[in-house]
Amino acid sequence: QAFLEHFDLLVPGSGKAPWLVPSLLPRRPETTAARSTPEVVFVLDFKGAFRRLLSTLIPRLLCQLRKRY
């Protein structure tokens, strides 16, 4: 259980479900409204496996996004 929590494969829930499995959560609903500008969305997990790489990973991601958009 500690291994699953460390890599955020098992997340404490609320209510009737004491634990959540993020890979089984429903996806964000699709929007039907057309957008005129492209959007970039990325989610950072500060507690998981990437916490040691954050000092190098975030600047690289931002530089790549800056170059592409």
CA dist 45 and 35 (Å) reads: 27
CB within 8 Å of 54: residues ≥ 6 apart:
44, 46
Tell whether 12 is covered by a domain: no
DSSP tag of 35: -
- Decide if pLDDT at 64 tops 70: yes
- Decide if pLDDT at 12 tops 70: no
Tell whether 60 is covered by a domain: yes
Boundaries of domain holding 59: 45-69
Tell whether 51 is covered by a domain: yes
Tell whether 6 is covered by a domain: no
Residues in the chain: 69
Tell whether 34 is covered by a domain: no
Tell whether 62 is covered by a domain: yes
Number of domains in the chain: 1
pLDDT tens digits, 14-55: 776 676 666 666 676 676 665 566 677 777 666 666 666 666
What is the per-residue pLDDT for 48?
A: 64
